[in-house]
Structure 1
Amino acid sequence: MDATAVKMYRTLLFAPGSRPELLAKAQTGEADALIFDLEDSVPPQTKDEARGHVAEALRAGLRKPMFLRINNPRAGDFASDLAALAKAGTLAGVEGIVLPKAEDVADVRTVAHALAGLEATLGAPAGTLAVIPLVETCLGLRNAYDMARASPRVRGLALASAEQGDFMVDLGGRWSPQSLALAYPRSKLVVDARAAGIDWIVDGVFMNLQSDQALRAECEIARELGYVGKMAIHPSQVATMHEVFSPSAQEIEFARGLLDAFRKGEAQGIGAVKYRGMMVDYANVRLAERTLALAEAQ
């Protein structure tokens, strides 16, 4: 993969580092990518053991792209988390770091600096590892744009939007199927990400495993607001997420046709062309290109 880009995955499935059987099982499922977790799903007394499991999984060879959720530098031993990658001796299949409870520029830069050292140690190209800040507090949301601009390694942003997760607790709101409490936070993160030039915007986990209808409704809200993917806590959620966040065959065909028509007009010195009864210009081109980029994950 290009060291300056990250694919816009539709689904990121969590697997706790303390459960080696789940680290293996997650790689056989349908999720686009995985998050091996060394943070909240791992009790403090088993952190070192979990790091060893992650290192072993890397040495065995990853079958899917993986992001490692480390502990925040202000809250845990993140250096030991990254040492698990060094211990594995390889970054093959590792696309980056999910930075939880990201709140300010210092969080991002501290991790980015450590990743530069890790890449040098393992002989990987500079910039190989991305940083995905996970916003879990109101302060983090306040500083989302600045964090997105803090390092070229920031190639995506995510919001911890779980019903009773850290962000909702910090917000003091009340979750509902209509998602009113999260309407502004979700929208602000999208606007900040787009303003910073980031297209890969990921919604957080959905905790209710009993209702596919409720999961679908939340996915549709997130997509309508501009999110392009979602984090999953169980393989059973992946199919619904893929269906909602995947461009349809009609959307893909329309985007390809629009780009073809526009490029032909552009070659003739025309900056706006008529396509299927509507005038299209560079804004439409950007949307079409984004649609096709999302389609690549399918």
Structure 2
Amino acid sequence: MKLFRTLLFAPATRPELLSKAQAGAADALIFDLEDSVPANAKDEARRNVGEALAAGLRKPMYLRINNPRAGDFRADLAVLRAGHGGAAVKGVILPKADDAADVQAVAKELEAVEAASGRAAGSLSILPLVETCLGLRNTYDIAKASPRICGMALASAEEGDFMVDLGGRWTPQSLALAYPRSKMVVDARAAGLHWLVDGVFMNLKDTQALRTECAIARELGFVGKMAIHPTQVDVMHEVFSPTAQEVEYAQGLLAAYREGEARGIGAVKFRGMMVDQANVRLAERTLSLAGAA
């Protein structure tokens, strides 16, 4: 699958932002029906999303629904039943994902949504967003709960749900998040997932701290980040995008490996380095991220 570097939130209570976000630089969008929408505005927000989908999407979009334990997620998913938005509707963000049961409840409902909307079976994916220590503990089980799981995301915001649950103290160096991020990456990779998304950064004025946090997340294995404002996207893209040199190296490595493979050689020498399947996976990941650019 395509590895999106940035996912920009657009609150469904603001129809003008649902439209404006599509003209920005973010790789993909999140139309939000959860935390940014008060309980008494949920129905209006769902109508806004439905109208935005009917008008057509210019970017890939994930719908952040309410958790099955916390809200009317079926009403959220009902906005997808008309089939509007086409292939640009990639799936849903599942917030506060604590265990496999959360995933399975949403996956079952997505089957009905696909059947009603004429979408191909299994075409709507689920990106779980871990926001509690329990969810982090269960990351591997969540990641393996359904074939619809396309990646994993960690709610790493400074004063967000996960940090409050953890009881840690956030800093730009993110020491409190070093283990949570690493555990998520290891568990998700063990489950066969490659799209690891870091959470939002709340301070819109501190660009350097944003850059620092992005660099730490990338170093630990994340390939993208969620954004709450369009002004954050350029920094995120700069950090999470492969350089021209990295892309050129990956292309050359893959070409050398495929040539050797055609000759029946499982490991080849490329620029003085022995190359095998592990190098190929890294090169393919690099080019997937480059493709998002």
The TM-score normalised by the length of structure 2 is 0.98
After superposition, give the CA deviation of every residue in 1:190-217 in whole Å (9 maximum; x if it has no partner): 0111111110010000001001111111
After superposition, give the CA deviation of every residue in 1:167-202 in whole Å (9 maximum; x if it has no partner): 000000000111100000000110111111110010
Matched residues, number = 292
The letter of the residue matching 2:228 is I
The letter of the residue matching 1:36 is F
Q: 2:121 aligns with which of 114, 126, 131?
A: 126
**Aligned counterparts of 1:268 and 1:29: Cα–Cα separation in 2:** 46
Q: 2:278 aligns with which of 283, 287, 292?
A: 283
How far is 1:160 from its partner? 0.2
Alignment partner, residue 295 of structure 1: 290
**Aligned counterparts of 2:102 and 2:229: Cα–Cα separation in 1:** 29
How far is 1:265 from its partner? 2.0
How far is 1:91 from its partner? 4.4
Answering whether residue 156 of structure 2 is matched by residue 164 of structure 1, we say no
**Aligned counterparts of 1:126 and 1:179: Cα–Cα separation in 2:** 40
Matches within 5 A, 1:52-201: 52-86=47-81, 88-92=82-86, 93-201=88-196
**Aligned counterparts of 1:48 and 1:262: Cα–Cα separation in 2:** 53
What is the alpha-carbon root mean square deviation over aligned residues? 0.9
The letter of the residue matching 1:47 is K
2:80 touches 2:117 (CA, 8 Å); kept in 1?
no
How far is 1:263 from its partner? 1.8
SS at match of 1:103: coil
**Aligned counterparts of 2:75 and 2:259: Cα–Cα separation in 1:** 54
Unaligned runs of 5+ in 1: 1-5
More displaced 10-residue stretch of structure 1: 256-265 or 170-179: 256-265
**Aligned counterparts of 1:89 and 1:291: Cα–Cα separation in 2:** 33
**Aligned counterparts of 1:231 and 1:252: Cα–Cα separation in 2:** 24
Unaligned runs of 5+ in 2: none
Alignment partner, residue 3 of structure 1: none
**Aligned counterparts of 2:272 and 2:118: Cα–Cα separation in 1:** 53
How far is 1:121 from its partner? 0.6
The letter of the residue matching 2:192 is G
How far is 1:90 from its partner? 2.2
Alignment partner, residue 9 of structure 2: 14
How far is 1:89 from its partner? 4.0
Answering whether residue 15 of structure 2 is matched by residue 24 of structure 1, we say no
The letter of the residue matching 1:181 is A
SS at match of 1:95: strand
More displaced 10-residue stretch of structure 1: 267-276 or 287-296: 267-276
SS at match of 1:154: coil
The letter of the residue matching 1:111 is V
Answering whether residue 271 of structure 2 is matched by residue 271 of structure 1, we say no
After superposition, give the CA deviation of every residue in 1:102-152 in whole Å (9 maximum; x if it has no partner): 000110000000000000011111011000000000000011111111100
How far is 1:290 from its partner? 1.0
SS at match of 2:63: strand
Matches within 5 A, 1:250-261: 250-261=245-256
Alignment partner, residue 50 of structure 1: 45
Answering whether residue 230 of structure 2 is matched by residue 229 of structure 1, we say no
SS at match of 1:47: helix
After superposition, give the CA deviation of every residue in 1:56-103 in whole Å (9 maximum; x if it has no partner): 0000111111000000000011111111222x4424121000000000
**Aligned counterparts of 1:134 and 1:45: Cα–Cα separation in 2:** 24
How far is 1:266 from its partner? 2.2
**Aligned counterparts of 1:241 and 1:281: Cα–Cα separation in 2:** 30
Alignment partner, residue 212 of structure 1: 207
- Percent identity of the aligned residues? 73
How far is 1:268 from its partner? 2.5
